[in-house]
Amino acid sequence: MDRFAYLLTEAQGLSREVLGGKGFGLVAMHRAGLPVPPAFILSTAACRRFLQEGEVPGLWEEVEAKVAALEGLTGKRFGRGEGGAPPLLVSVRSGAPVSMPGMMDTILNLGLSLEGVGALARATGNPRFAWDAFRRLLAMYGEVVLGERAEVFEERLSALKARRGVRTDAELSAEDLEELALGYLRHLEARGTPFPLDPWAQLRGAVEAVFRSWQNPRARTYRRIYGIPEDLGTAVVVQAMVFGNLGEDSGTGVGFTRNPATGEKGLYGEYLRNAQGEDVVAGVRTPEPLERLLDYAPGLYREIEAIAQLLERHFRDMQDFEFTVERGRLYLLQTRSGKRTAQAAVRIAVEMAEEGLITREEAVLRVEANALPGLLRPAVDRERAPKPFLQGLPASPGAAFGHAVFSNEAAERYAAQGLPAVLVRPETTPEDITGMYLAKGILTARGGLTSHAAVVARGLGVPAVVGAEALRVYPEEGRAVAEGVEIREGDLLTLDGGTGAVYLGAVPLVEAQGEALLAKLLAWAEPHRRLGVRANADTPLDASRARAFGAEGIGLCRTEHMFFAEERLPWVRRLILAATEEEEEAALSALFAFQKEDFKAILRAMDGLPVTVRLLDPPLHEFLPPWEELKAKAEAGDEEAQALLERAQALREQNPMLGFRGVRLLLLRPSILRMQLRALLEAAQELRQEGLDPRPEVMVPLVADPKEVERARALAEELFRVYGPIPFGTMIETPRAALLAGEIAPLVDFFSFGTNDLTQMAFGLSRDDAGKFLPRYVEEGLFPFDPTERLDEKGVGRLLRLAVEEGRRANPRLKVGLCGEHGGEARSVALVAPLLDYTSASPYRVLTARLAAAQAGLKEGVAAG
């Protein structure tokens, strides 16, 4: 018979995948002799079995045996006070193999009944504490197991505090808390979901609810955001309760062995006296910095400091640990590798390597490559910024500017319109994960630097200000008030996540500065990188910026982006309207001059490095005004608008992205190809005359047949005979081109995979429209992830591998790169690193591509070794 339950002493040697991260950490701390309350762990296999079959044979017999063991270790009886001892109460917590802070469910004080409250009050001599524990259990159990909204309990608590004229829970009396708890009981009874007073029924309900929480919407959203597999399941930790709400000599806290926002070495965290752990994490009350313990409990502070150092040495990583102090005695409840900002991740990795705690190779592997753009976030220009109207705590660095929103739904609306949003909440809960992910910044009225909002914002790389106590937020009304100022949905806010300042409207920002520690980490990484890294850049500024980030050239310069400037668009429209050769020649001549100067500036910025120029790709209708605008002007008598409307009608297509664009347009209107290529070749020629070393390459988009490539190359060769040849290549972005790569390769010098279009065509979906259903597809498990964000290995990856293998077989000198948006996404880079010569990413993702490529090289070396 399978085994599903393990005491801490029985679980040594079992993996994180079996015990979950929380259980694994508890076992390690217990083995190290640290003060951990007795506990047992239900494995992830039990969760998976429960979710598949609805029950786990033999599980409850194992649970009863483990509870009996806890009774023996604590000298208490589960749910019953005997011989003057308090009843044994337990916490029931989720613990997935991968850290998912706050995404699943926890229940504290489990095992209490009305009789148990009396026994607990007598044993502790503290009736207030006993009723406080019971009302917390009722609220947690009511929400997690019985399905009541958390707001119902919070509203009753807030109303009671208002009647008593107090601000915090700690100011309520025993009688107040008894009234509150009995009210909760009556409410649950009235709604048809009575609270079970039998401790064993409570335990079974709680364990099954924690299993089910693996599938709750916020947990699934979190897994989708972070690419966590759906089939891991969660372990459940059942642990003897220790109490931080027994008085002023008790409390609860969260500590970090290093600052999770900056990476600075040293104990960092928060403590809340006379409270339970959920108060800190949920941000219900704003805690005080751990350093304050030095004022009234210096011995406790030194003990926590020593334990923090021990944890970091043992796990060889920055740890985030939770603890409770019960009447002056310290207990550790959890440890895990702490969530951190990109800035902190780099600093921690480099400094740990320099301290000898980890190797340089481990340091390179420790930093999440996709998080590096967070280092490049702009900051508030504090010299030019006005005085902030509101001050909170700096929870996640960087500047965020956007429209105030007060709900997930509002954040989704603004994101759908391409508008930046700042999520404003009293405090965030795990239910807010969608809005937090979509928002450019997060602002909360309550909570500290280790609250849910702070931890999740740092993990997401979103600037955040928390604990702005002067802020009053009314989410249902879509407004907030602070310092006499009302903020409505849509009002503009700027957050400074580095100082905690909040500004009305937009304030001046400054570009992020390069980090010396990042440069050091990348220097350690470079020897392990085989894959080249170029940039997608269309302007001299982008080219210069990308080069500063370490780009080794430009892998995609999109020429159509040069045509949209105000002085150029009229000439493109004249080209579209040209009725005679003379009119077409005049338009092309003007565009040629613009293109040549653009190319010169970009080639100059990338002097000595390759610059791959993609010839015109989009359909011509994209250069015309919107249809409705043209129609209105034409009806008003505008002759030019009338002409453009007639031409737009002629160019109109049912599916223009699969229509007259790319190589099809260039072959049937070859004058455009000749103009663009001549501009590129003359730009390079003039730069050579200046003594520079331009290295242009030309690329034809959207081919589907070797004959298209053959014809385009023939047109190019006419100019190569005049100016000299340059590398000629094509984008592989249609499935047919990938399948015929062996026939296309002998005609070109390089392939560049345009994975944006290749993904769209392979899946038969539009990147522009798929947002309406793809998130739901991922939630339902139909797709493991969004293939427009991360390269699909099974389908698109197979096309890519086939094209590379057949292309190189037919042309051994063929260079192969990737220039779609996937080229700057770490998991996609790791996938293609063994196959390609280079990847190309947007300038701010060049750092991601460099680090991801090095990490892929390191892992490949380890696998080979």
> pLDDT tens for residues 328-355?
999 999 999 988 878 889 999 999 999 9
Note the pLDDT tens digit of each residue in 720-739.
999 999 999 999 999 999 99
**Segment among 17-26, 335-344, 593-602 with least mean pLDDT:** 335-344
Using CA atoms, how far residue 51 sits from 142, 207, 231, 399, 554, in Å, is 21, 12, 10, 42, 49
Question: Is the pLDDT confidence value at 497 over 90?
Answer: no
Give the C-alpha separation, 549 to 740, whole Å.
36
Higher pLDDT, 639 or 230: 230
Lowest mean pLDDT of 436-450, 721-735, 847-861, name the range.
436-450
Percentage with pLDDT > 70 across the chain: 95
At 264, phi and psi to the nearest 5?
A: -60, 135
| Cβ atoms of residues 696 and 724 within 8 Å | no
* Residue 861: per-residue pLDDT: 73
Long-range pairs, 186-191, Cβ under 8 A, ≥24: 187/148, 187/152, 187/156, 188/138, 188/142, 188/146, 188/148, 191/148
676 CB-contact burial (10 Å; exposed 0-12 / middle 13-18 / buried 19+): buried
* CA distances to 502, 559, 569 from 564, in Å: 36, 10, 5
Q: Measure CA of the first residue to CA of the last residue in the chain; give whole Å.
A: 39
Is the model's pLDDT at 679 over the cut of 80? yes
* Residue 753, strand partner residues: 732, 818
Query: 528 to each of 77, 217, 861, how far by Cα in Å?
Result: 58, 40, 9
Q: Is the pLDDT of residue 770 over 80?
A: no
pLDDT in tens, 387-429: 899 988 888 878 889 999 999 999 999 998 889 999 999 988 7
- Model confidence pLDDT, tens digit, residues 134-168: 999 999 999 999 999 888 998 999 999 999 999 87
Active-site residue flag, 557:
no
| 528 given a catalytic annotation | no
pLDDT at residue 650, rounded to an integer:
67
Please give the pLDDT value at position 365: 96
Task: Kindly tell me if the per-residue pLDDT of 834 is higher than 90.
Answer: yes
Query: Does the pLDDT at position 3 exceed 60?
Result: yes
645: Cα separation from own chain's centroid: 44
Catalytic residue of the set 403, 528, 819, 822: 819
Residue 654 pLDDT exceeds 80: no
Residue range 427-454: average pLDDT? 84
Q: Helix H segments across 368-471?
A: 408-416, 433-438, 452-460
When pLDDT is cut at 50, 70 and 90, the band that residue 768 belongs to is low
Check residue 842 and give its pLDDT: 87
| Residue 408: both structure tokens together | 């997930």
Task: Give, in order, the Cα–Cα distances in Å from 753 to each of 118, 658, 840, 846.
Answer: 71, 17, 10, 17
The total of other beta-carbon atoms located within 10 Å of residue 273's CB is 22
Confirm if 372 and 847 have CB atoms less than 8 A apart.
yes
Name the token pair of 854.
Answer: 């090095």
CA distance 276 to 325: 10
Query: What is the mean predicted confidence (pLDDT) over 266-270?
Result: 93
- With 0-12 CB in 10 A as exposed, 13-18 as middle and 19+ as buried, what is 571? buried
* Mean model confidence pLDDT for the chain: 90
450-464, 495-509, 751-765 — which is least confidently predicted? 450-464
Q: Which residues pair with 509 in a beta bridge?
A: 380
Per-residue pLDDT band at 285 (split at 50, 70, 90): low
pLDDT per residue as tens digits for the range 87-123: 999 999 999 898 876 666 789 999 999 999 999 999 9
| Rounded Cα–Cα distance for residues 513 and 506 (Å) | 21
CA–CA distances in Å: residue 698 to residues 507, 555, 677, 748, 808 = 42, 10, 8, 10, 19
Please give the pLDDT value at position 165.
93
* DSSP code, position 265: E
**pLDDT band with cut points at 50, 70 and 90 for residue 283:** low
Average pLDDT over residues 490-503: 91
Per-residue pLDDT, 396: 83
Residue 280 confidence (pLDDT) above 70: no
Exactly one of 30, 47, 403, 452 is catalytic; name it.
Answer: 452
Is the pLDDT confidence value at 281 over 60?
Answer: no
Share of the chain above pLDDT 90, in %: 67
| Residue 160 contacts residue 154 (beta carbons within 8 Å) | no
Quote the crossing angle between the two packed helices 516-525 and 342-354, to the nearest 10°.
70
| pTM (two decimals) | 0.79
The answer to whether residue 621 scores a pLDDT higher than 80 is no
What confidence tens digit (pLDDT) does each residue in 684-707 have?
999 999 999 999 999 999 999 999
Which residues in 659-669 are b (16+ Cβ under 10 Å) and which e?
A: eebbbbbbbee
User: CB neighbours of 643 closer than 8 A, spacing ≥ 6?
Assistant: 577
Note the pLDDT of residue 632.
76
pLDDT above 60: residue 625: yes
Query: In angstroms, what CA-CA distances link 807 with 264, 705, 794, 835?
Result: 50, 14, 20, 12
Average pLDDT over residues 617-630: 72
What is the model's pLDDT at position 807?
A: 98
Q: What is the pLDDT of residue 701?
A: 97
595-632: buried (b, 16+ CB within 10 Å) or exposed (e) per residue?
bbebbbbbbbbbeebbbbbbbbbbbbbebbbeeeebbe
Q: What is the mean pLDDT of residues 780-797?
A: 89
Cβ-contact 270, 290 below 8 angstroms: yes
